[in-house]
Structure formats: C-alpha cells, structure tokens
Amino acid sequence: MSSYRELLQQVRAEISELDATRTRELVETGDVLVVDVREQDEWDEGHIPGAVHIPRGYLESRIERAAPDPSRPIVLYCSAGNRSAFAARTLDELGYEDVSSLSGGFTDWKRNGFAVELNAGLDAPRRARYSRHLLIPEVGEEGQLKLLDAKALLIGAGGLGSPASLYLAAAGVGRLGIVDADVVDESNLQRQIVHSTERLGEAKVESAKRTIEALNPDVQVIPYKERLTSENVERILADGWDVIVDGADNFPTRYLVNDASVWHGIPVVHGSIYRFEGQVTVFKPGAGPCYRCLFPAPPPPELAPSCAEGGVLGVLPGVIGSLQANEALKLALGIGEPLVGRLLLFDALAAEFSEVKLRRDPDCPVCGEHPTITDYIDYVEFCAGTREPA
C-alpha cells in the first residue's frame, strides 16, 4: 500500500503538467477547455475566466457534456494542483487525448497576477439586499438568481397591481411588465400604494415604474400604457413572460388574459376583490382549471358591480395583491404548493379565509378536450350580456 504522498508523486509523474504562464497562453488561444475541479465555495470566490466548473466528485459523470470531443486539449485545475492531478489521470483513463493539470493550481495563477473572474452569482450589494432570502434554505442564492431572472407581467397597476408589483420588485424579480392605460386619479390613492399624491394625472405605468425603480434598481420595468386587447395581446406576450399576475378590473380583460395564457401556456395568478372580500387562485395551463372552467360566462354587466361602483376597503387589495405576489414568487422559485385547483376566499370583516376546490372542465371551450374557441374573440361583446338562445 502506498501513502497519499507516494500516490500523488506517482500520478504526477504519469500525467502532463503546465505552469500558470503556459496555461494562460493556451487560454488566450481559445483552443483549450479549462475545467475547475474545486468545490462550489472555492469556485464562488473566483476562478479562471472562461473556465467551466465540474467539482472533482462529478468529473466522470459530467465531463462528457462539457467536452464532447476527446481530442480537444483540456487543462484541469484546483487550488494547489493536487486534486487536478488525480482528475487528469481520470480523464486520461477515460480516453481524453490531451489532458494537463495546472501545477500550483489557482493559487499560483493568482500569484502571477493573472485575471480572475468572480462568480456569476450575487455580488456583495445584492447579497446584502437579499440577505433575508439567502438565509432561507428554500430560496438561497440559487433561488434569488431565479428571481432575478424571472419575468412577470402585471395586468393592471391598480389596487391589486400595486402591492403585487411592489413585493415582486422588492423580492428582486428581474423584469416586470405592467399593462395599464389609466392615469393616477385621486380616488385611486385610498388603496393603490404604488402611486402617490404627487403623481396625480401621471400615467399609472410611469408612476409605478418610478416607484419600483426607486425601491429596487435591479428591476427592469416595461411599461405598456394601453388597455390589453385582442389586438395588442400577442405583441405584449411576445416580450416573454413566465407568469401573469391578473389584477384587471373588468370581465373582458379577465377572459382575454385567460384565453391568451392557455394558448401560450403561461400560468396566471388571479385575484379579484369587492368591498370586503377577495379571491385568489392560480390558473396553470395543463395542471389545473382555467378561468372559463370556473366561470364559463360572465354575468350580465348590471349584475356585476365593479369596485368603481360598489367600493372596496382600501386594505383588501393589499391582502389579495400580496397573496398574488406570494403565489408568483412560489411559481418563480418552484417551491411550495401553488393555489392550482384551489380558490382561496378572504373575508376581511370576519377575518376569515376559506377555500373551495376548482376542477378542470373537460368540456371547457378553451382548455377542454375539444376546444371550440381557438382564437381571440370580441371580449367586450362577449361580456356585454349577449345570451345564447335557450
């Protein structure tokens, strides 16, 4: 039996080794694949620019994907050149033809003053900003990076869109699209907390954009100062959204959002409010019902008063919009149990939540087995109370 030192010496004698200067020359030619075989925390603290990271323990299983051509030169490195020596022998055994180990490792590379790339993860200011997320195992750095990469489209910058957009922005959701044609009105400020008195008369999307960017400069806001219609929905969706947060204030938009989301396979976090009560659910195409499964047809306008007509307690959209943000964040992170197939009801007066089950309707005209609606319709007319003959 040989000691570690003897084994290392033997392996180093069998493999090819390069010093830092020669390695840098090869890196500059671009013809070499540089593989960092250290652990995650070592990689995170900095690595050779352009290197790929395959921890030693995963080398055999992951090298093929990184290096499909066994004749391409490979330089392996670790911190001091020992782990990479063993790794080089492994790749020799696997049949790679031109494998070297960086003698002296990353330590020597840095000692020479060569370039170091910091990890693509979170920089120090972001680590500080999102520290309370990073502390949660279910979120962590990986989750925060997902959020920063996530794209949410908010329909409406009103009662529901205000808290939803603020919490998504604070959480670091990287891109928020906001669709709203209105301007800020005095009657909005009792509940629409993304706006303010000094923004009266300003477009809601611009007002929201200013508030959000002041809260979190990581967030890019795409304003759409228009009402969502059959004519513009495809253009807006073409900008690429992972989730839609529906805080519309009318039925035509609700049905339009539904149909578009089913056809595009985008989950919708649905919220609606009236006076003291609100509803939240997630319509996830393929995984649960859609809005039309829940309500195949809208009520005649005279039977469905809006908040503009019937009023709403100012804090109610705060509760429901925050729940929508909660669902959108869970979808972006891929954690928890989203409200798919469940409608959560909140009664502010009773301070009571209740839940009912929603099921997919196999005969649904949009998401059912034999859909009869396959293109955008005239949603205003559809919701104008035109009743089919009995």
Partner 1 sequence: MTKVRIPPTLREQVDGEREIPADGDTVRELLDDLMGRFPTLRRQLVQDGELAPFVNVYVEGEDVRTLDGLETEVRPGSTVILLPAMAGG
Q: Is the CB of 34 or the CB of 319 nearer to partner 1?
A: 319
- Among the residues of the chain, which ranges form H helices? 4-14, 20-29, 40-44, 59-66, 83-94, 105-111, 124-129, 131-134, 140-149, 161-170, 204-215, 233-237, 251-264, 291-294, 307-310, 316-333, 379-382
CA distances from 101 to 3, 18, 65 (A): 21, 6, 20
CB 72 within 8 A of CB 95: no
CB 58 within 8 A of CB 85: no
Using rule CB under 8 A, residue 384 touches partner 1 = no
Q: Does 350 bind partner 1 (CB under 8 A)?
A: yes
- Identified binder of partner 1 from the candidate list 277, 323, 330, 333, rule CB under 8 A: 277
- Please list, in sequence order, all residues whose beta carbon lies within 8 angstroms of the beta carbon of residue 136, skipping any fewer than 6 positions away: 143
**Choice from 206, 249, 259, 327 touching partner 1 (CB under 8 A):** 249
State the nearest-atom distance from the C-beta of 379 to partner 1, in Å: 12
* 227 makes contact with partner 1 (CB under 8 A): no
- Of 15, 307, 333, 364, the one binding partner 1 (CB under 8 A) is 307
The verdict on 310 binding partner 1 (CB under 8 A) reads yes
CA distance 24 to 21: 5
Distance CA 7, CA 12 (A): 9
Least CB distance to partner 1 at residue 60 (A): 52
How far apart (Å, rounded) are the C-alpha atoms in residues 134 and 143? 8
Closer CB to partner 1, residue 241 or residue 251? 251
By CB under 8 A, residue 279 contacts partner 1: yes
Nearest CB to partner 1, comparing residues 100 and 253: 253
Q: C-beta of 245: minimal distance to partner 1 in Å?
A: 10
- Within 140-199, the residues that bind partner 1 by CB under 8 A are 156, 158-161
d(CA 190, CA 382): 32
Share of the chain residues as helix, strand and coil, in percent rounded to the nearest 5:
40, 20, 40
Region from 21-29, 111-119, 227-235, 309-317 binding partner 1, contact rule CB under 8 A:
309-317
Cβ closest to partner 1, residue 58 vs residue 295: 295
Nearer to partner 1, 115 or 287 (CB): 287
The verdict on 317 binding partner 1 (CB under 8 A) reads yes
d(CA 165, CA 340): 21
Are the C-beta atoms of residues 41 and 66 closer than 8 Å to each other? no
Residue from 26, 181, 304, 340 in contact with partner 1 (CB under 8 A): 304
Q: Which of 94, 345, 373, 377 binds partner 1 (CB under 8 A)?
A: 345
Residues that bind partner 1 (CB under 8 A): 156, 158-161, 246-251, 253-254, 271-277, 279, 294-299, 303-307, 310, 312, 317, 343, 345, 347, 349-350, 354-359, 387, 390
